[in-house]
Amino acid sequence: MLAALLFSWSEGSPAAGALSLVKLLVVIIGGAAVAVPLVVALNSQTNLPMAWETLLSGSVTLLVPVLIATLLLPPEGGLGSGFFIALAGSVLTVVAGWRSVAREY
């Protein structure tokens, strides 16, 4: 998801354009998507609570409808490749996150 910020989100605008609310959400949740697995992997305990994975899965799940709404109501000039990379990364993170949470049940 973070790699999506390197590409243009709307046709005709630079990749480093204004940071919109959707891009800010992608940055925050994308950072968490990198940080949570690192913290879990680097922890010496094996019995970590599922709260962090569940929180990450839930927050990315809330991000996907926001991205779909942006897809349904595109900005002037259409959407760029960065948006579609963020959407694909979000969907993959949702699937991986909920599969990770489901392993506990």
pLDDT single digits (tens) 25-70: 888 888 888 887 787 778 777 666 677 777 778 888 888 998 899 8
- pLDDT tens digits, 2-36: 888 788 887 766 666 666 888 888 888 888 888 87
- pTM across the whole model: 0.77
Provide the 3-class DSSP secondary structure of residue 5.
helix
Distance CA 82, CA 6 (A): 7
> What are the backbone angles phi and psi of residue 79, rounded to the nearest 5°?
-105, 145
pLDDT in tens, 84-104: 998 998 899 888 878 877 766
The residue extents of the domains of the chain are 19-102
Helix axis angle for 51-72 and 81-102, nearest 10°, is: 150
